[in-house]
Structure 1
Amino acid sequence: MAFVITSECITERAADCVEVCPVDCITLGKDQFLIDPNTCIDCGACEVVCPVEAIYFEEEVPEGERASILKAKTYFGIQ
């Protein structure tokens, strides 16, 4: 998994990240946008346009947001 969208996105629906993604790996889940790690090419285009700064490289996800990693993995069926 490369990039992760954290809980700051739960109230955000601007979808700037979706629009700039060259491989269409961002989808709206139950309550927020999520990045499919199977499709993501690690380009970082989504990270720089996020209006609420909710997107992080997996290793840089803040400690209090680590559940976002599991949320994305579960959504996309990754163990």
Structure 2
Amino acid sequence: MTHVVTDGCIQCKFTDCVEVCPVDCFKEGPNFLVIDPDECIDCAVCVAECPVNAIFAEEDVPSELKVFTGLNAELAINWPTISSSKDALPNAEEWKGKSGKLSVLER
């Protein structure tokens, strides 16, 4: 089992989740974070730390966001590991709470 980062993270990229991950399973893209399903140990500590509620257990991903399960696995292959927190994106507060952001995902 794994956890999945969904569209709440796009254009925000808060890294509170990264700081608590015991296995460094987060990967960083230009405007989004993903979880590497091969590295995630399903500890769930990241879920409570995400300030935009973008992380779900794989079995709990809402049906309209299921595309993110495959997207996390796909992008984790090439994106670098992020293991410490950094500042959120400059416009994160503006994007926080918005949904339907898949069209602005940068690969």
1:38-65 deviations in Å (ceiling 9; x for gaps): 1111110100100000000011101111
1:70 CA drift (Å): 1.3
Unaligned runs of 5+ in 1: none
Aligned pairs (5 A) from 1:10-49: 10-49=10-49
Partner of 2:66: 66
Q: How big is each residue's C-alpha offset from its partner over 1:5-26, in whole Å with a ceiling of 9 and x where there is no partner?
A: 0001002222000111011101
- Structure 2 residue identity aligned to 1:57: A
> Residue 30 of structure 1: CA displacement?
4.0
**Structure 2: gaps (5+ residues):** 78-107
Q: Which moved more, 1:30-39 or 1:2-11?
A: 30-39
State which structure, 1 or 2, has the greater radius of gyration over its C-alpha atoms: 2
TM-score between the two structures when normalised by the length of structure 2:
0.66
- The runs of 4+ residues in structure 1 deviating greater than 2 Å are none
Alignment of 1:47-62 (within 5 A): 47-62=47-62
Identity across matched positions, percent:
43
Question: What's the C-alpha RMSD, in Å, of the aligned pairs?
Answer: 1.3
